[in-house]
Chain A
Amino acid sequence: MKINKNIEAIIVTLLYLTCLYFWTLPIQKNHMPYGEVDAASHYAVADYTYKSDRSITTLPYYIDKRYGEDNKFKSHTLWYPPPFHTSLAIAAVFGGESGFSIYLANAIFCSLIVLSVYFIIRRFFGFEAALISSFLLIFSMRDIMVYLWGQWPERMGFAYLPLIIYCFYKYCSSYLAKDEKPIYLYIMSLLLAINFFIHPMDFFHSVGALIITALFFLVKEKRFFFSIKHVSASIFLFLLIVSIFPFQSMNVVARLQSEGGATESIGDISRLFYWFKKPEHNPGVPESYFSYKAMIGPYWTIPLLLLGVLFLLLRRNRKDLVILAWLISLYIMVHLDFIGKGRVHRSLSGTAHIFYPLMVLGLVYLVSLIPELRYKRYIKYGLMAVFVVFMFMAVGVEASKSLKEAYGGILRINPYQYELTQWIEKSKTIPQNTEMYHAGEISLAKTRWLWMISHRFMLDSGRYDLGGNVSYVIVDYSDFALIGDQNTINNLQEWEKQNLANSSLIYDKTYIRVYEFEN
């Protein structure tokens, strides 16, 4: 389809705004923070930066108590390079608050894959393929799940891969055409360095895709397709940029040396014949996370996916090879457990980014097989429309429901707890470097959220007994009251009487009390 570039720009804007509409559903009506413990950690760094009006160098006490050793190179410093969290904090400055602002900015960052996939597929295969691929990505369940749980930088980092391989392709093509454009290589270095800052695992995905692309080009062209001078300059540029955050960059190196991967699949040949085999020991995700049908689409899409691969294999022009290299590098990343490396179930979350475009290419290829008929063009658009509608019914409806109902009810901070966190945060009575105890929590994540929003270190009663260095105790009936669990309320009241009779009550609001603890 030939399309005016201005019309296209408006369509892409509408597409991405639609994406943002869906991805912000969890915060449109309820502005309370949500997510698992990882979300709380990312929120905490951005929130503290915004509220202290200073960048973090040494971790504040309450963050340090949990993440102080997560930087394996230099303890008590940020464990991630700062750009991601600083960007969230910048959004908070514009929003004038750190709750909703962080979540809105995060929705933008985490959904950038929709734009980068649109871009590469548009440049390689045209408007329709790009539009459908990126539309489907809006509803990619695995991306949505990980986004909702809180592995935010990992989500964003994946969006850099298509742009990085695109730049590499552009440079190599210009070199082979004897019209060298090293600017693409330098932009690639910059993107690669930022990719490294956003999330190291995604950086390794990008590097893998680059290596496979380079090998494919070498086989196809049977000669070198780059200038040593340009490559050296781009490597220097990359190293220069990553050196601006030495503690965090070296943390990646230190972690690579110290961390092993899953061991259960080492040498398991059968594993290589599956895209992903559900691990025996669940890494803490629902069963559906490993299901093609639930995460990608109905099984009838598999033939389209394979057709897409076949189409690229048969044609094998440079653009096709780039996409195939992306697919193969992802295959390698999700099978690293075969050699006992990697966090493969996390790598798996990059699947839809390449599977959806391949499916669409399969469809386009299928349509191209239709003999020349008078109404071929209408058949083509009709088939594409049917495909989009069926896919939306199969995955889109469920995905938008998941976003709309995400962390409803007591699964996220309730208003009583939020009021408490605001009181604690501003409290001059409760010192910054104190230890609090949260009794009545419904989950580890709940305590973690109270801890991070209050800016005070908290122990949860699920894993710790009262005692030790605890100075303040929160007795939290709010969640149990909201779900009407009277038995647990009675037990907690009994516990409160037994343990806090000698302590002074300093906060007594609806469903929640705080005591200054006397052991």
Chain B
Amino acid sequence: MDIVGLANYAVFMAILIGIYALLALGLNIQWGFSGLFNAGIAGFFAIGAYTSAIITSIPAAHRLGGFELPLLLGWAGAMVVAAAIAWPIGKICLRFRADYLAIATIGIAEIIRLVIRTEGWLTGGVRGITGVPRPFGDLPYMQSQIAYLAIVIVLVLLAYLLVERQLKAPWGRMMRAIRDNENAAAAMGKQIAARRLQAFVFGSALMGLAGALFVHFNRSITPEAIDPMIATFLIWIMLILGGSGNNRGAILGAAVIWIIWSVSELLTDRLPTELAIQAKYVRVFIIGLTLQLVLRFRPEGILPERQPVPPPRT
């Protein structure tokens, strides 16, 4: 690979890391601050991707839309629809322990996958949606990639600053209080279920936005674009390894895990075909094992959660 190829690859990787960082930030709101187990991340990601694709793509005869509406509307739509799907699920399941939400999110991700495959009039079925516009997509390849990277960086930074601000605000302290001691927080008059619902819906909206960013980067989406279980799992490891409860940890984890994951793919693709297929499963096995090792030996992650410093007494 020459220098230009390498630079191209680095920009490509950086864009995907940014998208995963958004997903990890969304999960951090749910798991890191609030202790909610979302096992259907890929579902909310897909919802965001399809929503934005339908809103902004060029019209097609065999499916709903595209409406050729502005990009920002697509992104907003992605967040709104992801949030709207998260809301009833959270409403039903968040009264109970986190296990129930986990089961329900696995379920909703499966249903979303079924709907995307089956309802061709809406999503184009197995053909998927093509002709999704990309901002600055008319520029030459390299410039267009860099421009998109800039957009992704701005959005990740914006999300980071907003989430960080929320975390330091009374809302963040309250969420951690609910996470760490539900009964005490309830005794202080906090509405546990309603607050958890907020965190779940906010986090899911962010995941929807990540999906929208992905579809405009990719310019198309099909049901096979993401493996739901592996995608969900990668994001979990990013957050746990990076440090759940720490936004910088979430972004760092996204970078570390995505680099390891794609470089290992590059390496195994060079193996002979039969071995390469085996190696694919070995890689999945290893990410499963990595989670176990992190949970056992470094549950706080690379960048542990920072405990807020109490204000000086006066």
Binding between chains A and B: no
